[in-house]
Amino acid sequence: MPDVIGKLWEAGVVPVISISDVDKAVPLAKALLAGGLPCAEVTFRTAEGEESIRRIAAEVPEVLLGAGTVLSVAQVDKALAAGAKFIVSPGLNPKVVSHCLASNVAVTPGCMTPTDMEAAMELGLKVVKFFPAEQAGGTAFIKAMGGPYRELRFIPTGGINPANLGNYLSLRNVFACGGSWMVKKELLDAGDFIEITRLCREAVQIVADTRTSGKKGV
């Protein structure tokens, strides 16, 4: 489990993907790899999510796959059977988190309030999703949470883009960021994997530049 979380930190950005055409799943995964992002969160928002995970896991095993928008224990089991290596949920469901931890599976539930954060810490988590990031207060809110919850790290997701990615990553308590701008629906629908690769490379460069600068917020 720690190795999975560590790989998310190494990537710095986790593409959040909603796939409605399973035939695009494997080419998409290859485009992510070509762009330097060997990880992805494939959401269960579509009926094709589970099969997409299964195909990518079988044909592009170099990509560290997570299942997103997981809302129940049953969905956890389906995602793991398909080949997911980590679980992401929009909110903190104690049953989902406990099931993942009992199965030794990395899980990052969504947290938006101090109550959520304390519940996550009580369950033994050190890295959580902050969702929806921009709508919930963005970098200012995350900075404020760094005071009382100094050991907790966040993966902000929701409204992240190339313009604000560096601002989030420069914060001491931001572990990585989730984003969908490099895998937008229109790009997937058009099969524009060249552009997806370009956007991934751009994101990777922002991560590298931010971390090289060494600037960390409170």
Q: Which is the catalytic residue, given 30, 78, 85, 129?
A: 129
- From the list 142, 175, 177, 137, the residue with the least C-alpha distance to 156 is 177
Do residues 42 and 68 touch, judged by C-beta distance below 8 A? yes
Q: Which is the catalytic residue, given 30, 41, 50, 85?
A: 41
Whats the size of the chain, residue-wise? 218
Cα separation, 173 vs 168, whole angstroms? 9
Cα separation, 171 vs 68, whole angstroms? 24
Catalytic, 129? Answer yes
- Could you give the angle at which helices 94-102 and 73-82 cross, rounded to 10 degrees? 40
Catalytic, 41? Answer yes
Interior/surface letters 91-120, b for 16+ CB within 10 angstroms, e for the rest: ebbeebbebbeeeebbbbbbbbeeebbebb
- Catalytic positions, please? 41, 129
